[in-house]
A = this chain, B = another copy of it.
């Protein structure tokens, strides 16, 4: 990697994977990946390998989020180096297998890019999830995809946070990209949601092809939503949820929440306002799978990142 003014030369992406079924009941991703395994034409591109892959086949089979534990939190150093044993939770041994096939995580042998396809019950639309504000190549890709999708919008969630970043399946790759599309109830396929997901992948693969083939991408800026906080539901003294998302907040992912705005409505009819001291942008509002993670939504702050120009390095 060489840097020249505000351009970087980066190696071509030769191995790309598309994961579906990391959560077995998120059906747009499961459906697309299964289709692509049967017929790769739609995702084939000249000059690099693209591997569609079902990450949690047992959860997909049962149409459930996971069997023993959340696969998308399982790629910790501890899990990946755990002694092989029959007592390991299914998802932990599966994480080790995925790490062998597409990693090892953090190594030069790892896949260049992994797209991991997810659905959410939240009204997030098409969303790309990135882990790093320094990855110019991923940010240029996001910029390309956002422009290609116009007039449809595609938000960027940045999970670069000391405690809120998690050990995701895609973290095995050098450049992990989460693709999150909603609203879609788990266990169902919505045509509109599946179509958005398919378009995002098409444009992202086009970008990689153009980059590999030598196209230069100029410096640019990208607006991202940086995760800063996780907000739980109000609870009673026994730990049970005592309020729901306020109807004024429901479905308003990515929209400004100002101090004093309604946030929750208790089951006995009391409005709980947002009491922060500045405007924030909630997302993952009322995601079904996050009730058990004690998360009603996450709070993000809007930020504009400056991205270097990139070109492929001549090997």
Residues of A within 8 A of B (CB): 31, 35, 39, 63, 121, 183, 185-192, 194-195, 244-247, 250, 265, 267-268, 286-289, 291-292
Give Cα distance in the complex from A286 to B191, angstroms: 11
- The residue in A35, A63, A191, A287 that gathers the most chain B C-beta atoms within 10 A of its C-beta is A191
Q: Is the CB of A286 within 8 A of B190?
A: yes
A274–chain B nearest beta-carbon distance, Å = 16
Q: Is the CB of A244 within 8 A of B288?
A: no
A101–chain B nearest beta-carbon distance, Å = 24
CB closest residue in chain B, given A194:
B244
Q: What are 7 inter-chain pairs, A to B, with CB distance below 8 A?
A: A185-B185, A185-B186, A186-B288, A188-B286, A190-B250, A192-B247, A195-B247
Shortest 6 CB-CB distances between A and B: which pairs? A185-B185, A187-B288, A121-B185, A191-B247, A189-B244, A188-B288
Q: Is the CB of B291 within 8 A of A244?
A: no
Give Cα distance in the complex from A191 to B270, angstroms: 13
A36–chain B nearest beta-carbon distance, Å = 10
Residues of B close to A185: CB separation below 8 A: 121, 183, 185-186, 288
Residues of B close to A247: CB separation below 8 A: 191-192, 195
A218–chain B nearest beta-carbon distance, Å = 35
- The residue in A190, A245, A268 that gathers the most chain B C-beta atoms within 10 A of its C-beta is A190
Residues of B close to A194: CB separation below 8 A: 244
Residues of B close to A265: CB separation below 8 A: 191
Give Cα distance in the complex from A160 to B247, angstroms: 36
Evaluate whether A289 and B192 lie within 8 angstroms (CB atoms) in the complex, with A31-B244, A35-B267, A267-B31 already known. Answer: no
Contact check: which of B31, B188, B244, B287 meets A121 at CB < 8 Å?
A: B188
